[in-house]
Amino acid sequence: MILRRWFLIAASVVVAAVATRSACAAEAAGADDDRPHVVFVTGDDEYSSELSMPMLAAILEQRYGIKTTVLYAENDKGERDRHANNIPGLEALRDADLAVFYMRFRQLPQEQLDEIINYGKSGKPIVGLRTSSHAFNYPGPPQDRWNSEFPMTYFGHKWISHYGHGNTTEAYVVESEAKADNPILRGVAPQEWLNSWLYVVNDGDVKLPEDCTVLMVGDATKGTEPGGEKFGNREPMTWTRELPTGDGGKQRVFFTTLGHPRDFLKEGPRRLLVNAILWGLGREDSIPAEGTDVEFVGEYVPPDPH
């Protein structure tokens, strides 16, 4: 019994020592980590951003020397909950070099909202996907101003409507001499069928601002298989902006209305996002003519919300 007690005590000391060394090593590595830091903010209840964004983060970590942090919506028990109005860890945005937002209709606590708003005001680059055009859904003042102000300020677009569940999109790269060698489009197919049902972006007098550079457009197609009948208007799907900052610089912003979880089974949408993140970080010269390597790191098995 005495021998057994001694063994347990010794083992505990060894485990504690190893844990302490590991923690110190991790802290030291973090202090010396000069890799660009990309923070993914997920929180949608429809398109499984909690699955697709970690998949992209893994590609960036393994292939492009980028440190990533992925934040998730959590309930009061600390469990991931795609419906929760709580995204812990948003203070990570303070030292982020680029933020990726994929949120939908959140009503975050004020201190969490402040982290996002302060990041936007910092002038650092932003990548937004699909439902981030309606990231917030506050019911009243003072926060309700951000329901429109956040997407309009950075993306130039607030959600209007879409062409309906059960439909899909035929996407096209915009062809022009000025965009012929746009680094974001390198390796992206000139035409591709996507699972995302098309968003309405231009509607009557509501248009994208002139400072948006449209890179891709789309036609709505009927049904959930390629080759469906086209209907509705051709809409912008992907664009960039370079917003002036107070110090005379430019804040790079990329937005796309694609984001169906099954879109990312195809290389094109994955490459589009990885290229856009590298462009946002000012690393467009590192994007090869054939586009980035976006082979999966691990398994990606998305649901189909159609």
For 86, other C-beta atoms within 10 Å of its C-beta total 17
pLDDT-derived band at 20, boundaries 50, 70, 90: very low
Distance CA 95, CA 97 (A): 7
CA nearest neighbour of 36 among 120, 128, 127, 98: 98
User: Model-level pTM?
Assistant: 0.88
Q: CB–CB of 72/43 below 8 Å?
A: yes
Reported as a single tens digit per residue, the pLDDT across 138-181 is 999 999 999 999 999 999 999 998 888 888 899 999 876 656 67
- Mean pLDDT across the chain, nearest whole number? 89
pLDDT at 219 > cutoff 60:
yes
What's the rounded Cα separation, in Å, for the pair 304 and 196? 10
Read off the pLDDT of residues 71-130 as tens digits, 9 standing for 90 and up.
Answer: 999 999 999 999 999 999 999 999 999 999 999 999 999 999 999 999 999 999 999 999
pLDDT at 33 over 60: yes
Segment 211-225 shows an average pLDDT of: 93
CB 257 within 8 A of CB 201: yes
pLDDT > 70 in the chain, percent: 88
Separation between Cα atoms, residue 195 and residue 266, nearest integer Å: 10
The more confidently predicted of residues 115 and 191 is 115
Q: What DSSP element (H or E) covers 161?
A: strand 161-162
pLDDT at 5 over 90: no
- State what percent of residues in the chain have pLDDT above 90: 77
Report the top-level CATH class of 35-159+237-286. alpha beta
The DSSP-derived string for 187-233 is T--SEEEESSPPEE--BTTB---TT-EEEEEEEEEESSSTTPPEEEE
